[in-house]
Amino acid sequence: AQTVTQSQPEMSVQEAETVTLSCTYDTSESNYYLFWYKQPPSRQMILVIRQEAYKQQNATENRFSVNFQKAAKSFSLKISDSQLGDTAMYFCAFMKHQLAAGNNRKLIWGLGTSLAVNP
Amino acid sequence: GAVVSQHPSRVICKSGTSVKIECRSLDFQATTMFWYRQFPKQSLMLMATSNEGSKATYEQGVEKDKFLINHASLTLSTLTVTSAHPEDSSFYICSARFLAGDATNEKLFFGSGTQLSVL
């Protein structure tokens, strides 16, 4: 069974600084997806970044980037130039690749990291 | 981009009544939708996977007769909480799978959630 671990329940960072959120996972699959989702106080779940395991290049989306270490099963999220609007819960999630598991795949979620960006 | 509409956003009901929550994919067809439950400051808990035209697959511990799921069309899935009780009070979120082209272009979009309060 797959598991996702986020070992930092809460973190804080000063505005304009850089912060890294940790995520590790466990799987025997070789092909899968990893995600970081953001849930602000509005509670709308927003996709931050998506990584396909077969791609060695780390995904980036503007100020958000990941450090994907497949052998170590690590998938950390780096937020650069933190902004007040980045304050949210951040969830790391895993999903098997469709070619491996068809349509009945589901997201496996970490417990989340609550990030506070301070002015 | 693809949008998932979830209604109502908030509902208050009396104990013993039933409540229906709708989840619509507005500009794409979703063969698979997911229903989650989320308690305050916790991660998402998958309740069931809903496939269009077939019975939903419930996670272990989720009562099928309590949480009725119908996915009658490619753009609509509904969750009905039957004979609601105060312990059913929670935040419910739906998610729809978007798949265009090959498997590498798969995304999951989330509704804005429904806060259910049972008095």
Of the candidate ranges A29-33, A42-46, A69-73, the one whose mean pLDDT is the lowest: A29-33
Q: What is the pLDDT of residue B111?
A: 96
Q: What is the pLDDT of residue A46?
A: 94
Mutate to test the interface with A, among B37, B106, B107, B114 (most CBs of A within 10 A): B106
Q: Contacts of residue A100 in chain B, CB cutoff 8 Å? A: none
Give the pLDDT confidence of A74-109 residue by residue, as tens digits.
999 999 999 999 999 999 999 988 766 666 688 999
Chain mean pLDDT for chain A: 93
If you measure CA to CA, which chain B residue comes closest to A52?
B104
Share of chain B above pLDDT 70, in %: 94
Q: Is pLDDT above 70 for A14?
A: yes
Q: Is pLDDT above 90 for B72?
A: no
Listing DSSP states for chain A in one string gives --EEE---SEEEEETT--EEE--EEE-S-SSEEEEEEEE-TT---EEEEEEETT--SPPEETTEEEEEETTTTEEEEEE-S--GGG-EEEEEEEEE-HHHHTT---PEEP--EEEEEE-
